[in-house]
Amino acid sequence: MSVFPKISLRLEVENYLKEGFLNKEVVSALGKQEAERKFETLLNHLSHPPSFTTVRVNTRQASVQHVKNMLLDEIQKFNGLSVPVLQHPNLQDVLLIPVIGPRKNIKKEECEVVVGAQCGNAVLRGAHVYVPGIVSASKFMKAGDIVSVYSDIKGKCKKGAKEFDGTKVFLGNGISESSRREIFSGLPDPRGIGVRMTEPVYLSLSFYNVLPGYLFLQNLPSTVVTHVLGPQPGERILDLCAAPGGKTTHIAALMRDQGEVIALDKIANKVTRIKQNALLLGLNSIRAFCFDGTKALKLNPVTDIEGEPPFLPESFDRILLDAPCSGMGQRPNMACSWTLKEVMSYQPLQRKLFTVAVKLLKPGGVLVYSTCTITLAENEEQVAWALTEFPCLQLQPQEPQIGGEGMMGAGLSVEQLKQLQRFDPSVVPLQDMDFGSLRDAREEDMVWLANKDCIGFFIAKFIKCKSTEKKDP
């Protein structure tokens, strides 16, 4: 059931998305009314969190069963919760934890805290409210007060305001850890928890510092990507846009930490985070570099620093391009203030990165392209472009196949669409999950729901059939 308004977008962006989802091929197949219904359903789902929290077990440290038992103990400590932890049948290193909610009978308190939209999204996935995310607090708020927390989805609340009557969405109640005076004291770089959530509208475990080294919090489709890539021990694999390192560390784990995983990102603090995650998870095969992926192809073989970017052509067995994208599939997301120009800016960058990836891939090698967005332009249109631009590439079926098939509209054949995976959360109704429904639910039904009610995501898998290097006559 919907408890939040649909995602708030600029009109130009919503019309652009609608044009993609109501393209001629889709309308011809479904009819205009059904295509419009599906699009509106999708916008509504994007503002709500998925029905399950997904964590990946670091199998280099412990067995899945052992970590599952430890996680059940942690959940018991968290408000005495009693919810199941499910091992995914097709993703053996993935555990699923149901999210309880929406809880509709929470009493709203007189004392209010307003947070920014990004902070609000995190609260809906189980986080507490940290001081930097607080925009406004009631003038009489003291540490220890029970407060109602709201998200300023339009970004209209003035920092430090004592009250806010604009558009705000109720996220639940918590206990303030600081007074209003302390939060807005003007001290540089305020830190720490500002409100500890005790009655959130959506109840899920906060995974901050829960079993570090054993678990990695990831969305379900993000774990599917690495299995589709299929890394093998001893291979040399490139993660072209790697931060924060979830997929990089997954690649290394599936290779049993044997071989070489090169991770690139052009932002230094993100590369530091990749290295920290590799260290935390005990993985030694990862080498992370601060480097622009669009420049990762070595044009002058004479200047060679062994093993560092840029790289020689056709020097990787497998490449993951989890491309920078508009991120329009992320959930929950109640508001996106991006302009149409910003949303459309990613397609050219993705093509630059894709071109580099093809040239760096060995003949016979595997290239997986993925995004966490829903646009036709960044997904199926990119596949159609790649197959035309690079005759050496062939689209491949994926294993495991958990998402739906690709969306019509880019001129791909029915067979080609079936080889893609598009995770579209609108295919199932929004869920009401409570302790009673969990007790009665069958495990296979819950896994099915977790596969459907996740973030919006896209995966395509290619194999390079022949060399792209020009041979000397």
How far is it, in rounded angstroms, from Cα 263 to Cα 241?
7
Q: Is 440 exposed, middle or buried (0-12, 13-18, 19+ CB in 10 A)?
A: exposed
DSSP bridge pairs for 141: none
- Find, among 332, 321, 350, the residue nearest to 229 by Cα: 321
DSSP 249: H
Burial label, 22 (beta-carbon count in 10 A; 0-12, 13-18, 19+) = middle
Beta bridge partners of 197: 174
Structure tokens at 272: 């530091």
Max Cα-Cα span within the chain: 82
Please give the sequence-ordered ranges of beta strands (E in DSSP) within 381-450, or none if there are none: 393-395, 421-423
Tokens of 290: 């601060």
Distances (CA, A) of 331 to 7, 106, 453: 10, 23, 10
Whole-angstrom Cα distance, residue 97 to residue 87?
Answer: 9
What is the C-alpha to C-alpha distance for residues 136 and 345, in angstroms, rounded to an integer?
33
DSSP-derived 3-state class of residue 197: strand
Given a contact cutoff of 8 angstroms between Cβ atoms, the answer to whether 231 and 214 are in contact is: no
Q: What single-letter amino acid sits at 198? A: T
Dist CA 404 CA 412 (whole Å): 15
Which run of H or E residues covers position 387?
A: helix 380-389
**Where do runs of H (alpha helix) occur along 78-142?**
117-124
Q: Is 409 left (phi over 0), alpha (psi -120 to 50) or beta?
A: left
**Residue labelled with tokens 């290394």:** 252
The DSSP-derived string for 42-53 is: HHHHHTS--SEE
Active site includes 372?
yes
Give the active site residue among 372, 392, 454, 465: 372
Burial 163-182 (b: 16+ CB within 10 A, else e): ebeebbbebbbbbbbbbbeb
- The rounded distance, in Å, linking the Cα atoms of 12 and 339 is 8
Which residues are catalytic, by number?
Answer: 372
